């Protein structure tokens, strides 16, 4: 199905480009003359090029090849399991012909018109810098399918590589029916009662119960490569005296010294996970156990060697989302970077659960992050991070189109030429209006990069959207409106005009709220909702129906 989807998309796109519809045929009856070979087949067996293949529990075999010599063009890759290698080969080839997918669906598609296509002899081999390249969000089925295809077209991977250790999934590795007979298998609460949903983190019986459940899972799902579990959200803790002895007394970030419920429990939690992994791997040595470094478990444990088949989901929900890891003026991101570096030394399978909706609580105003991304991705690669499964929103006017598009490119290649990517984007998306629109987004980006504010909720944003910034944005936008000279580029600039008006409404709303003028604040709310409806009418990815 993956190869078929790739071949059909290639056929459709080339027809849009040239007007010629190339036939799709199998390798059983190949026609004479030049051939485009999509995917592995009998016709690729004798070619002097290796197509990536294989699927191990470690998930390190992804990749593709583009090879052309004389009348044969090969577009193929590893399609095993969650991989999309052949599709990547097709979309990389189309990119070389000038095709772009800046947003999901036809609205974000750029297909140049060409009468003829000439492909020189070439050989391209690519593998990703990060094995996990995804985010999740809530969307309608139609939007979700369009976004899935957009991700694959930009060499992201919407399919899971490892089990996700979601909140409360540790409830799956306890047996509440044992509570009466073996209360010691369960975590102790501060009041002396037992928590039926959290194992005792120091009791061998709790380890064996968890390991037994997980072994049963792998017996029933022999193709699975991993199993994930994590405790309830919040600050869960086992107060059993033997477990408490393992605690080293480090206060969780934001916690208060001397408050037992606000200490880091990394030592006791990861000690338990280690013992469960060892017990499971006695029978299933190749599988991976996934858990999260989140809440009161995000500080790396001290004096511990982690199982080499541990997968760690790192989630710093407390951290500022505005700045780069190497920004010395942002202690929160510097601290997060220190933690990530140490996690990378302890575990070779660390991935990030990021919050790339920019603001966890948001008014959906534009928050570009190009400057942050271009600094962060080389560092994340250097620290050994294996990828991303981020929490996001389908609001492209908030994250901004160039930022989300750039993120996809850097998740494949952390050292991609950011300047070339941006120049290409602005030229294709805005045409003659490229220069002022880049100035528009650069002004926004610099404001976020240089702000002394830190956080992840929109209460800090009025301090960033200053009158001086709004004046610069208005000047750049007015020039872009004057220069846009095609129907498409005028529409793109019109979108940004609506976004700017929505931003101005937000700033005025915030000022009215601060002044106690709630009638004016309500008026600006209604104005913003009208603008959202117009954006939704242009394209639902700009502003989905649920936000209108």
Q: Which of 39, 29, 35 is nearest to 4 (CA)?
A: 39
Gyration radius of the chain's alpha carbons: 26
pLDDT value, residue 63: 98
pLDDT band at 171 (very low <50, low <70, confident <90, very high): very high
- pLDDT higher than 80, residue 30: no
Cα gap 328→334, rounded to integer Å = 7
**Average pLDDT of 12-19?**
97
Residue 402 is predicted with a pLDDT of 98
Enumerate the domain spans of the chain: 2-129, 163-305
pLDDT value of position 361: 86
With beta carbons less than 8 A apart as the criterion, state whether 267 and 246 touch. Answer: yes
Residue 89, pLDDT above cutoff 90: yes
The per-residue pLDDT for 382 is 98
Distance between CA atoms of residues 293 and 271, nearest Å: 13
Strand order in the sheet with 122-126: 35-38, 72-77, 64-69, 122-126
Mean per-residue pLDDT of the chain? 96
Our measurement of the distance from residue 381's CA atom to the centroid of its chain's CA atoms, rounded to an integer in Å, reads 15
DSSP string, 195-236: EEEEE-TT-HHHHHHHHHHHHHHHHH-TT--EEE----SS--
Instruction: Read off the pLDDT of residues 285-325 as tens digits, 9 standing for 90 and up.
Output: 999 999 999 999 999 999 999 999 999 999 998 889 999 99
**Confidence category of residue 506, pLDDT binned at 50, 70, 90:** very high
pLDDT at 218: 98
Please give the Cα distance from 89 to 69 (Å, whole number).
16
Rounded Cα distance between 337 and 328, Å, is 11
Q: Which residues lie below 8 Å from residue 308, measured CB to CB, with a gap of 6+?
A: 348
Helix (H, G, I), strand (E, B) or coil at 188: strand
CB atoms within 10 A of CB 61: 17
Selection from 257, 416, 250 nearest residue 342 by Cα? 250
pLDDT bracket for residue 539 (50, 70, 90): very high
Q: What is the pLDDT of residue 252?
A: 87
Q: Tell me what pLDDT residue 356 has.
A: 74
For 66, the 3-state DSSP assignment is: strand
| Residue bearing the bigger pLDDT, 367 or 27 | 367
Q: What is the model's pLDDT at position 94?
A: 98
- Beta strand spans in 385-478 (E): 387-391
Strands (E) across 375-530 are located at 387-391
Arithmetic mean of pLDDT, 468-488: 98
Q: What is the DSSP string of 255-301?
A: --TT-GGGB--HHHHHHHHHHHHHHHHTT-TT-EEEEEEEGGG-SPP
Residue 60: both structure tokens together: 């390190």
Whole-number pLDDT of residue 546: 93
Residue 294 forms beta bridges with which residues?
Answer: 315
Q: What percent of the chain has pLDDT over 70?
A: 100
How does pLDDT run across 396-422, given as a tens digit for each residue? Answer: 999 999 999 999 999 999 999 999 999
Residue 357 pLDDT exceeds 80:
no
Report pLDDT for 16.
97
Mean pLDDT value of segment 136-162: 97
Mean pLDDT of 463-472: 97
Q: Is pLDDT at 98 greater than 80 in this prediction?
A: yes
Residue 36 predicted with pLDDT over 90: yes
Secondary structure of residue 534 in the 3-state scheme: helix
Confidence of residue 26 (pLDDT cuts 50, 70, 90): confident
Q: What is the pLDDT of residue 428?
A: 98
Residue 355 has pLDDT above 90, yes or no: no
**pLDDT score recorded for residue 379:** 98
The model's confidence at residue 371, banded by pLDDT at 50, 70 and 90, is very high
Rounded Cα distance between 442 and 491, Å, is: 20
> What is the CATH code for 2-129?
3.30.379.10
């Amino acid at each position: 199905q993956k190869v078929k989807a790739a071949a059909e998309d290639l056929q459709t796109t080339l027809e849009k480009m040239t007007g010629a519809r190339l036939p799709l045929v199998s390798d059983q009856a190949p026609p004479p003359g030049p051939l485009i070979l999509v995917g592995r087949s009998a016709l690729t067996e004798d070619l002097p090029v290796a197509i990536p293949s294989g699927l191990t529990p470690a998930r390190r075999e992804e990749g593709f090849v583009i090879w052309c010599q004389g009348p044969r063009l090969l577009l193929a890759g590893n399609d095993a399991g969650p991989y999309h290698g052949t599709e990547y080969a097709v979309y990389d080839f189309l990119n070389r012909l000038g095709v772009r997918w800046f947003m999901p669906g036809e609205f974000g598609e750029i297909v140049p018109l060409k009468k003829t296509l000439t492909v020189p002899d070439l050989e391209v081999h690519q593998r990703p810098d990060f094995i996990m390249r995804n985010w999740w969000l809530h969307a309608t089925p139609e939007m979700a399918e369009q976004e899935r295809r957009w991700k694959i077209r930009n060499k992201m991977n919407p399919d899971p590589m490892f089990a996700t250790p979601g909140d409360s999934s540790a409830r799956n590795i306890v047996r509440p029916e044992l509570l009466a007979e073996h209360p010691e298998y369960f975590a102790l609460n501060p009041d002396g009662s037992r928590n039926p949903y959290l194992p005792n983190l120091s009791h061998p019986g709790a380890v064996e119960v968890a390991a037994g459940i997980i072994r049963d899972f792998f017996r029933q799902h022999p193709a699975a490569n991993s199993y994930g579990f994590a405790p309830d959200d919040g600050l869960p803790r086992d107060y059993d005296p033997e477990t408490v002895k393992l605690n080293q007394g480090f206060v969780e970030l934001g916690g208060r010294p001397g408050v037992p419920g606000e200490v880091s429990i990394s030592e006791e939690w990861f000690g338990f996970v280690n013992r469960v992994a060892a017990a499971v791997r006695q029978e299933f040595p190749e599988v991976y156990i996934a858990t999260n470094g989140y809440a009161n478990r995000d500080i790396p444990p001290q004096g511990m060697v982690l199982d080499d088949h541990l997968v760690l989901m790192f989630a710093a929900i407390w951290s500022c989302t505005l700045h780069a890891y190497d920004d010395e003026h942002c202690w929160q991101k510097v601290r997060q970077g220190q933690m990530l570096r140490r996690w990378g030394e302890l575990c070779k399978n660390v991935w990030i659960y990021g919050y790339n909706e920019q603001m966890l609580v948001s008014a959906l105003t534009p928050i570009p992050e190009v400057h942050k991304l271009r600094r962060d991705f080389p560092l994340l690669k250097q620290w050994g991070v294996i990828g991303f499964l981020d929490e996001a929103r389908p609001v492209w006017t908030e994250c901004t189109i160039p930022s989300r598009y750039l993120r996809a490119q850097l998740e494949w290649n952390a050292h991609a030429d950011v300047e070339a990517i941006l120049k290409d984007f602005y030229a294709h998306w805005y045409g003659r209006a490229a220069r002022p629109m880049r100035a528009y987004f650069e002004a926004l980006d610099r404001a976020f990069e240089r702000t002394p504010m830190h956080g992840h909720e929109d209460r800090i944003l009025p301090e960033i959207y200053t009158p001086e910034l709004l004046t610069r944005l208005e000047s750049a936008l007015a020039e872009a409106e004057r220069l846009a000279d095609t129907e498409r580029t005028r529409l793109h600039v019109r979108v940004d005009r609506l976004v700017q008006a929505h931003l101005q409404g937000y700033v005025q709303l915030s000022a009215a709220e601060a002044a106690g003028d709630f009638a004016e604040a309500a008026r600006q709310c209604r104005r913003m909702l009208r603008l959202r409806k117009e954006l939704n009418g242009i394209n639902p990815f700009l502003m989905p129906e649920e936000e209108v």
